[in-house]
Structure 1
């Protein structure tokens, strides 16, 4: 393990970055702007999340470092543009967290988690212009399933959601019925719309149960991929072509993999 303190490690990374951007540095790095780095930040963030969710501690450490490097890169370029410094960004974050946690740094008392989240939302909105709406801070580029979760979460904090779990379940059943009716009609546009409504409502149902749809679907995706790769491996070991097998044979392999 590195014995350096976080401050020393950050200073070392800054030295590396300054060298890359210096007169004898890397032409690629010197050509970058905060705008050109955006896609790399997104890509590295996804890689970091993959490592965290898979329990890969060494990979998480590496990818966390990659994300930190890119964030420092943006901060350094922004300082050169005389827009802001890393210290200013960190000070702003610290002040924001203190302001949004009056139940920790102040004397506010909250009864439960729901009241805590509602208070958080009130403070966030008070920080913005009064004319901004509830969803003014919702990033446009969020993946759709994650965006649906955030939309419902914010709506719930403002009190705009089903009042009871039973009413929520009835709403979900109604959306499922509308989707099935659209399927029966054969209307492709109606099917797409109602399927979207059903997914949107299902996301809220999961949220109320403490489930994040995006994370749950990621687990399901990875489970399927792991099992399918195991099927391919079994087929190869047995000299079989998986593509050539009929459905019954594929299902037999699938069940064998599931049991394993």
Structure 2
């Protein structure tokens, strides 16, 4: 047995011990539904670890997320639905089936064709299962963060040919939406302003897809920089015995610029 196989076997054995009679009372009380919040929490913690570039934390959070998979599979096994081995088999079969350019004799010209083949194969799978055809943009969970959902929807639409010819065209759409937002603001229509802001965000998300900059990750990076700079402003003001509330905008702007210069120096 290889080291990875031993490690997975150990984790599965620990899960069994926790759920078996005489195991952990808390773990034995959990259901598929009660674990859902923890699954979401662990996924977000993993993303934060990746963004922080903390290798040890990244490894730990991957383990926490893997445990949620093992936990769900153990409960499903108890309910006679499926087990961990079947979960592994299903994803392995799917990956082989949807990568005919790797495991078969299909030739592709690039990643764009890979995505189009993936969507086509998914549609064929639904037909084989006797399921009704799904929209070309179907299958994107409504609960996803809006920017992620916008990126995935435009990606799926693009996979069937409903797309802009190039990134410059998408940039032009962003500018068009920005102009329409300005017009809505001038008109003083709150409803129209909200509509145009949505259109602008959607166009920007689509642009992010085109230039291979995930919009959700880009915005999260901006938020981290904003927080870091604002914390710097607060610390420097505190050194002067002041807070943002009793400081002028000019003072805070100067410290904000100072924070930006520190970032550049660190780079």
In the superposition, the TM-score normalised over structure 2's length comes to 0.92
- Structure 1 position 130, deviation (Å): 4.8
SS in 1 for 2:133: coil
Q: Which region of structure 1 is more displaced relative to structure 2, 177-186 or 5-14?
A: 5-14
Q: Distance in 1 between matches of 2:243 and 2:185?
A: 35
Q: 2:174 aligns with which of 172, 175, 182?
A: 172
Q: Distance in 1 between matches of 2:166 and 2:256?
A: 40
CA displacement 1:14-48 (0-9 Å, x = unmatched): 22222222222222211111111111111111000
- Structure 1 position 230, deviation (Å): 1.9
List alignment gaps of at least 5 residues for structure 1. none
Q: 1:92 aligns with which of 90, 93, 97?
A: 90
CA displacement 1:109-164 (0-9 Å, x = unmatched): 11122112111111122111352111332122111110000001111111101224
Aligned residue runs from structure 1 range 87-236, under 5 A: 87-128=85-126, 129-236=131-238
Cα RMSD (Å): 1.5
Q: Which region of structure 1 is more displaced relative to structure 2, 186-195 or 24-33?
A: 24-33
Q: Distance in 2 between matches of 1:119 and 1:191?
A: 39
Q: 1:37 aligns with which of 31, 35, 39?
A: 35
- Structure 1 position 8, deviation (Å): 1.6
Report the CA distance shift for 1:68/1:187 in structure 2 as closer, same or farther (over 3 A): same
- Structure 1 position 165, deviation (Å): 3.5
Question: Is the 2:167–2:211 contact (alpha carbons within 8 Å) kept by the matching residues of 1?
Answer: no
Q: 1:244 aligns with which of 235, 243, 246?
A: 246
